[in-house]
Amino acid sequence: MKKTRLIEEYLDGSLSAEEKKKFEDQLGKDKELADLVKMHLDVNESIRDNELHALSLIIKKIGEKCFRSKICR
């Protein structure tokens, strides 16, 4: 859990400059840690993609309602 929190803090930019440097030094030496960071990046990207898709569906539904009503004509 501590490692996961540290990775997320690194990715969201909330580590101090000193903590970031220390983490990046460790990242260069520890393949398992590098793999975990890559996994977190992939998961975060997937979440953003899903949120974008959900937003796209909402906008599409609003557009369909708008075109059926007299408000948008």
Q: Report pLDDT for 57.
A: 84
The answer to whether the beta carbons of residues 23 and 10 sit under 8 Å apart is yes
Per-residue pLDDT tens, the chain, 73 aa: give them: 698 899 999 999 999 999 999 999 999 999 999 999 999 999 888 888 888 888 888 888 887 777 677 666 5
Q: Considering just the CA atoms, what is the radius of gyration of the chain in Å? A: 20
Q: Report pLDDT for 14.
A: 94
Q: Report pLDDT for 54.
A: 86
Q: Report pLDDT for 70.
A: 64
